[in-house]
Every structure is written in structure tokens, then in C-alpha cells.
Amino acid sequence: MRLSLAHLAALDSAVTRFGYDRAGQASGIVHLGIGAFHRAHQAWYTDLAMAAGDRDWAITGVSLRAPTVAEQMNPQDGLYTVTERSEAGWNSRLVGAVREVLVAQGQRGAVIDRIADPATHIVSLTVTEKGYCRAADGSLDFALADAGSLYALIAEPLRRRHDAGLAGLTLLSCDNLADNGQQLARLMDEYLGRHDPGLLAWFEQACTCPSTMVDRIVPATTDADRTELAARIGLDDQAAVLTEPFSQWVIEDRFAGPRPRWHAVGAELVSDVRPYETAKLRMLNGAHSFLAYVGLAHGHTYVHEAIGNPELRPLVEALLREEAAPTIAAGAGQDLAAYATALVERFANPALNHRLIQIAMDGSQKLPQRWLETLAANQALGRACPVILQGIAAWIRHLRGVNGPVDDPRALELGAAARGSDPVAALFGRLGMVSNLWLPTEVDAAAINLLAK
């Protein structure tokens, strides 16, 4: 039987239930990009908050393009399970926070209605780096933004709220971007400045875009995972997510209106997210990308296999402790050495089955903040980053297709550059494709080109 309200009696008693009156909860959040990470992270925290007594924070999920998640969740009445998996075993929780899932391409009017609804206070986002439609210099790429993006989907209901005299919204980016809140605010300003300049002052005064740092490893759920889970919980859950026991959510405490009591269930509300965000991007994400490209080249499939390779683990340790950590100005009470130790332990979790090819996706959107900023910071201090240079060389080989098809929004042009006579100049020079951050010295470029052969 499929997980749904009608079949809850068949759910195994070992699965933790949410316990609140789900039908009595109004929807206070619209979430754009309702993938597995959101379900294992922000929706999970929201479910815990409502279970602890918070009210009216149910979530309307929005898939921006494909109907897959809607087809998984709507037949289940929005219900799904989050299973924490480790060597100690499986621990599953039934999550009831998601009320419905809309598909923007076919239900755009309904999405706009939900965002414009007076009960909505927060629009949160996990649209991945490429969803922000940034040009190489970081500005808004209007050709992409005007082709059907989050900006138009938000701008129209903001105009309706303004005209109706309603309160502004909190736009909460939960993507792996440095200063994600500031970037979202700047890009939204650019979009409104062109398409609705009369709304710009109200947006800047009535709405806020707090920065966040999100951390939880969430591998893609496989059919084998779903089959094994069904045998454990007694029901077929097509929307199931499997994750690690660890989770962290650091949020800049700057909201335009009400918010859930996320801080009461483990989230951290702070005045400055940057130290946490920088550590996550340069250490966790930077090491993940290294393991992805170098691990695939060594024939590994999963993160735990790659970190278990005696050649690769010392390199990851060096990236974390010698290349990334020294570039981070730690916040009060933030222990970067302990964080590095914890990351290696998390990577080694053999129950997680986090696929390297999943991490390898969209490298052109991820590597500037994961590697290039670390390179630039070390260059300013006169230090080299031999591990990251190896990672860049492995990424160049990946772009050539040595690990199979390349999943990147710029795969064709990047692949052509990677196969050229000087791939580093084509990819990372001052006029290169990846970022306005270039590699610091010609010595670095020569070393990478040699490694990439």
C-alpha cells in the first residue's frame, strides 16, 4: 500500500509520528524547489516546530519545472518519511509539514495565489546555484531570468501584496551560495528595476532576504532504498528521503514578519551567518567536490569509498586543515579543527551511499565558492593549495567526459574549453567562463594543465 492519510494505520509503530492536528494548520510558507534536500532539512525542521506547538506553518511546495515530486507527494497527501541512516541503524520519522505540491509550469496562477495569500509570510528557496540565473560577473542574466525563473514567480505576487496593502515577505534562500540572502536581494532588485521599478522601494523596505547556512548530506533516493524502506515501515513511500543523523541550520535573524520557532528545535538564529557559511562552502563542499572528481577518477562510486582510499584521505585532510580552514575567520565558539574531524567521520558513513556523480553535477556553478575563493585567499597570504589544484585538474578531465556524460548547464562550452590546448586559460582566465575569480598565478595554471593531461 502507498503511504497516505487513508493508510496510516498500516505504518509501522517504530516510525515517529508528528502528533499535531495537520488539518488545522494554515499554510504560512511557500517553498520553491521542493527536492529531497528541502524535505530532509527545512521541512523537517518545520515539522518539528509544529510538533512542539507552533501553528500555521504548513508548506506549499513548488516544483519549478518537472512534475516528479508532485507525482510522488500529492497521492500521499503530502506525507513522507525522513530516515536517518548510520552504522547504528535506521531511524524514520513521518513528516506532515507539506500541504501540497504545485508545478509552476502548469499551475503558475495557483503558485502566485499562494505567495500573495495574506497567510503566507515566508518564501523559501532551494533552487540550486544555477536557479539564480547569474551571469559570469555575478549580475542577473536577464535572458535566463526572463525565460521563466523564480524572479517573475515572486515579483507578480509581491505587486499584488503591495497593491492590497499587505505585509512584505521574507525571502529565505537556503542554497549553497556565499551571502545567499544578499545575493538574492541584489538579483531581485535588478529584476524589479527592469520589470517593475515602482515596486523596488517597497520591496527594499517591506521585504527581507536573510542569509542562511544549511548542512545535511542527502543522497538521491534509489528504488532499492524505497524497497528496503517499505519492508521496514510497512508502506510504499515514493517521496522518502534518506539522510545522515547530522543536521545544521544557521539563519540570520532578520525576518519581515512572523517565523516558525525553528530555534526551539535545533536551528541557530544569529546576527552574522558568514563564518558558518564560509566554513561549510570551503570545507564541507570543497572537500566533497574534491572527492567527487578525484574519487570518480579512481573508480569509486560513493563518498565513503573515496574517503576510505588511503591515497585520498590524507589529501582531504590537507584540504580541510591546511588549505581551507586557515582562510576562515571563525565565529565565536566555532571550532574549525573539530569541524574538520566531524566532516571526515560523516564522509566515512558507510550506510549513506552518497553518490560522487551526484556531487559532481553543476561544477561551473559550485567551484567558484568552493575552491576559487580558497585559492584567492591563500594567494593573498602567500600560500599554495596543491590539493585544490589536483581537484581542478580532475574537474577538467571530468569535463572531457572521462567519467561519463557531464551534467552541467554549460557542459558543451566547458567541454570544448577543457579539450583545448590551454584549458586553464579558457576556463579560469580573466575572460574565462567559470567566474570573475581567476587563478592567481601562471605557475598554478601550468601545474594544473600538466596534471590534467
**Domains of the chain (ranges, CATH numbers):** 5-270 (3.40.50.720), 274-451 (1.10.1040.10)
Q: What is the pLDDT of residue 121?
A: 98
Rounded mean pLDDT, 65-77: 97
Rounded mean pLDDT, 179-200: 97
pLDDT, tens digit, 9 for 90 and up, residues 329-366: 998 888 999 999 999 999 999 998 999 999 999 999 89
Q: What is the pLDDT of residue 291?
A: 98
- The amino acid present at 73, given as its one-letter code, is M
- The pLDDT of residue 310 is above 90: yes
- The pLDDT of residue 135 is above 60: yes
Rounded mean pLDDT, 272-295: 96
Q: What is the pLDDT of residue 289?
A: 98
Question: Rounded distance, CA 240 to CA 11, Å?
Answer: 14
- The pLDDT of residue 440 is above 60: no
Q: What is the pLDDT of residue 332?
A: 83
- pLDDT range class, residue 444, cuts 50, 70, 90: low
Q: What is the pLDDT of residue 430?
A: 59
Q: What is the pLDDT of residue 447?
A: 73
Rounded mean pLDDT, 424-453: 69
Q: What is the pLDDT of residue 439?
A: 64
Question: Rounded distance, CA 249 to CA 228, Å?
Answer: 29
Rounded mean pLDDT, 105-120: 97
- pLDDT range class, residue 442, cuts 50, 70, 90: low
Q: What is the pLDDT of residue 434?
A: 63
- pLDDT range class, residue 437, cuts 50, 70, 90: low
- The pLDDT of residue 423 is above 60: yes
Q: What is the pLDDT of residue 302?
A: 97
Global pTM value? 0.86
Rounded mean pLDDT, 198-223: 96
Rounded mean pLDDT, 14-40: 96
Mean pLDDT estimate for the chain: 94
Q: What is the pLDDT of residue 318?
A: 98
